[in-house]
């Protein structure tokens, strides 16, 4: 049995579009219902005392979607930030974001930075949005920053190791996820936290994200605790 307390849960929130399609609804309706699921899961994580919850909200590849859908997603993000600031403050939750954030629309970026700043001193937990995020992009960005520091004489190339490299990731202060949940049944990482998920436990459910609730979150947590994490050992 796994006795280590879960500190960090990461989630690939998949299935909004298929949820909407099966009901004959526009994709954006699925995304709006997905935003409701975000609120439920944030509450559940808080109830479990989980310190970090990272949600894959918008990938670097999502820009390839229909412009109307992308615009709708950005508007939903604005709406979430505008309406949930009070909830985050009331529940003492800090907001952070990882990704190539400056490439987001200016209005989204500015509001995101304001909410991050206003919740920065909260201590009950941290909600992390992966926005304009890609695992390969994060690794490439880290490598570029190390190269810059090496060129400036700030880094000894002979001393570059995994520990040093990890300090150049988007949020080096956040521990690697203990558990990664993916909804909608897809069995792939989809370029999410490729460095950080090296030893994370994976949990996949066929449930579409808009239908994912507190009971489903609890089942994923229970699944984690039923496992024996060996980290390459033979116990």
CATH superfamily of 8-134+177-225: Decaprenyl diphosphate synthase-like (3.40.1180.10)
Which pLDDT does position 228 carry in this prediction?
A: 79
- Per-residue pLDDT of 179-199, as tens digits, reads 999 999 999 999 999 999 999
- Tell me if the pTM is above 0.85: yes
Instruction: Kindly list the distances between the CA atom of residue 114 and the CA atoms of 50, 71, 120, in Å, as whole numbers in the listed order.
Output: 24, 21, 10
What sections of the chain are H helices per DSSP? 16-22, 27-47, 67-90, 106-118, 135-151, 162-166, 214-225
In the annotation, is 62 catalytic? Answer: yes
Count of CB atoms situated within 10 Å of the CB of 2: 15
Considering 14, 132, 178, 216, which one is annotated as catalytic?
14
Q: Mean pLDDT throughout 216-224?
A: 97
Which pLDDT does position 231 carry in this prediction?
A: 58
Terminal CA-to-CA distance of the chain, rounded, Å? 11
Considering 2, 62, 75, 122, which one is annotated as catalytic?
62
Residue indicated by tokens 């954006």: 28
* Mean pLDDT for all residues in the chain: 95
| Closest to 196 (Cα-Cα) out of 7, 62, 16 | 7
| Closest to 7 (Cα-Cα) out of 224, 233, 152, 235 | 224
Given a cut of 80, whether residue 225 has pLDDT beyond it is yes
Of 227 and 10, the structure prediction assigns the larger pLDDT to 10
Which pLDDT does position 213 carry in this prediction?
A: 97
Given a cut of 70, whether residue 98 has pLDDT beyond it is yes
- Per-residue pLDDT of 47-96, as tens digits, reads 999 999 999 999 999 999 999 999 999 999 999 999 999 999 999 999 99
In the annotation, is 14 catalytic? Answer: yes
pLDDT band at 235, cuts 50/70/90? low
């Amino acid at each position: 049995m796994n006795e280590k307390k879960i500190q960090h849960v990461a989630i690939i929130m998949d299935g909004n579009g298929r949820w909407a399609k099966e009901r004959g609804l526009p994709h954006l309706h699925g995304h709006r219902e997905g935003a409701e699921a975000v609120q439920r899961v944030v509450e559940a994580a808080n109830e479990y005392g989980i310190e970090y919850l990272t949600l894959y909200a918008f990938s670097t590849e999502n820009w390839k979607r229909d412009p109307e859908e992308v615009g709708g997603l950005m508007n939903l993000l604005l709406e979430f930030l505008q309406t949930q600031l009070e909830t985050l403050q009331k529940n003492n939750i800090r907001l952070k974001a990882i990704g190539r954030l400056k490439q987001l629309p200016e209005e989204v970026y500015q509001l995101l930075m304001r909410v991050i700043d206003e919740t920065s001193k909260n201590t009950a937990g941290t909600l992390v949005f992966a926005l304009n995020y890609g695992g390969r992009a994060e690794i490439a960005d880290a490598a570029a920053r190390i190269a810059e520091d090496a060129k400036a004489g700030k880094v000894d190339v002979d001393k570059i190791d995994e520990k040093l490299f990890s300090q150049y990731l988007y949020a080096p202060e956040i521990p690697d996820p203990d558990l990664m949940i993916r909804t909608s049944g897809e069995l792939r990482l989809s370029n999410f936290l490729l460095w950080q998920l090296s030893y994370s436990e994976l949990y996949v459910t066929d449930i579409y994200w808009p239908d994912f609730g507190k009971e489903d979150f609890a089942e994923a947590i229970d699944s984690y605790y039923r496992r024996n994490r060996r980290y390459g050992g033979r116990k």
